[in-house]
Amino acid sequence: MTTAHYKKVRKLSIAERAYLGGIIDGEGSVTLTVKQKGGTRHLTLLVSNTDLPLLCYLRKIIGAGKIISQRTYKSHHRPVYKYSISNRQALSVLEQIRPYLRTYKLKRAKIVLKYYLLMTPRNGKYNDNLRKKREKFVQRFFAVAS
pLDDT of amino acid 33:
93
Q: pLDDT by residue (tens digit) across 12-68?
A: 999 999 999 999 999 999 999 998 787 789 999 999 999 999 999 999 999 999 999
- Is domain 14-143 in CATH 3.10.28.10, yes or no? yes
Claim: this prediction has a pTM higher than 0.85: yes
- Burial-class residue 94 by CB neighbours within 10 Å (0-12, 13-18, 19+): buried
Residues in the chain: 146
